[in-house]
Amino acid sequence: MKDIKIFSGRANPELASRICQYLGLPMGKIALGDFPDGEISCKIEEDIRGRDVFLIQPTGPPVNNNLMELLIMIESCKRASAERVTAVMPYYGYARQDRKDEGRVPITAKLVANLITRAGADRVLTMDLHAAQIQGFFDVPVDHLYAAPVLNEHFLAHELTGDKIVIVSPDEGSIKRALGHVKRLGGRLAIVDKRRSSAEKTKQENIIGGPVEGKTVLMFDDIISTAGSICGAAEILQRNGAAEIHVAATHGVLCGPAAERLKDAPITSVVLTDTIPLAEEQLLPKITILSVSTLLGEGIKRIHRNESVSRLFD
């Protein structure tokens, strides 16, 4: 592992530190700052010529700043003659803009993929993309990790398994994810019928499958953003007699009124991972943060050694 160098942007240095701790490697020295006019400055403060470089930078809020910082870091490493540069993006910003769902709108997820590739990234390591087909937007290899093992272990440790639980998909797009959790945790599957009226507004109509009456409900999603959908689904589940409602998601974006909505919602617990750091005011008593540093660290190790990453999930 002596030829590997790991650097962190300013988006999530705590996660980067945990990854380095897992790998037993020191954090690479990099100086990042802002000029008075808001431009980002970057200097790699050690020799990386011929090295295998990994840049850890989720592009969560503030998305544009973190994305631009990642691009500048990639450019810095390429000009410093790094042998290979891998962009480690635990959270991929703009992933929800992955298709043209009406006329005259961009496919911004593809634009971001082009920017990262043109900046000089040789590979991308990411986790729980909003849509798996985003991997195909890149012209470089993409390794796609899943936080499901970490989330499942949490619920297994709390003995939330078997016939006493119902696994709920908050919309039709998350059915495949929910089925994966059913296979590991047991229980039955239910789906919330969600209707979207705009980019910000959704309405939950019915529950398909189940039943949820008297059951402990585990609801899985990839992202909690404004929490409108997940809280609306929780209210429908409560009205249908769910005894407890536990929510789990990989990425806790928690923007706008999300924290207040989760606080007031009929949700027993919220389980998130540390792909995106939460501010102090977002750390509600019902929120538990699990680390995905071991998964990401193992992915980095396997990429460096040219070993299979997919075997992590066999």
Which residue of the set 176, 194, 286, 301 is catalytic? 194
CATH classification at residue 158? 3.40.50.2020
The reply to whether 122 and 170 lie within a common domain is no
Tell me the whole-structure pTM to 2 decimals.
Answer: 0.94
The reply to whether 18 and 121 lie within a common domain is yes
The reply to whether 282 and 305 lie within a common domain is no
CA distance 230 to 76: 40
The reply to whether 205 and 261 lie within a common domain is yes
The reply to whether 55 and 36 lie within a common domain is yes
Closest among 217, 148, 141 to 176, alpha carbons compared:
148
For the chain, give me the number of helices (H) and strands (E)? 8, 14
Closest among 221, 218, 222, 245 to 234, alpha carbons compared:
245
The reply to whether 101 and 157 lie within a common domain is no
Angle, CA 99 vertex, CA 96 and CA 105 arms, to 5°: 95
The reply to whether 173 and 241 lie within a common domain is yes
The reply to whether 142 and 155 lie within a common domain is no
The span from the first CA to the last CA of the chain, in angstroms, equals: 24
CA distance 53 to 10: 17
CA distance 77 to 48: 8
| C-beta of residue 114 within 8 angstroms of C-beta of residue 67 | no
| C-beta of residue 210 within 8 angstroms of C-beta of residue 216 | no
Residue with structure tokens 């997820």?
A: 109
The reply to whether 185 and 237 lie within a common domain is yes
Each residue's pLDDT expressed in tens, for the chain with a length of 314 residues: 779 999 999 999 999 999 999 999 999 999 999 999 999 999 999 999 999 999 999 999 999 999 999 999 999 999 999 999 999 999 999 999 999 989 999 999 999 999 999 999 999 999 999 999 999 999 999 999 999 999 999 999 999 999 999 999 998 888 999 999 999 999 999 999 866 655 556 666 689 987 999 999 999 999 999 999 899 999 999 999 999 999 999 999 999 999 999 999 999 999 999 999 999 999 999 999 999 999 999 999 999 999 999 998 87
Beta bridge partners of residue 84, listed in sequence order? 52
27 secondary structure, DSSP code: P
- Identify whether 301 is a catalytic site residue: no
Q: How far is CA 216 from CA 172, 245, 281, in A?
A: 21, 6, 28
The reply to whether 32 and 85 lie within a common domain is yes
| Domain, as residue range, for 93 | 4-146+293-313
Q: How many independent structural domains does the chain possess?
A: 2
The reply to whether 69 and 195 lie within a common domain is no
The reply to whether 154 and 205 lie within a common domain is yes
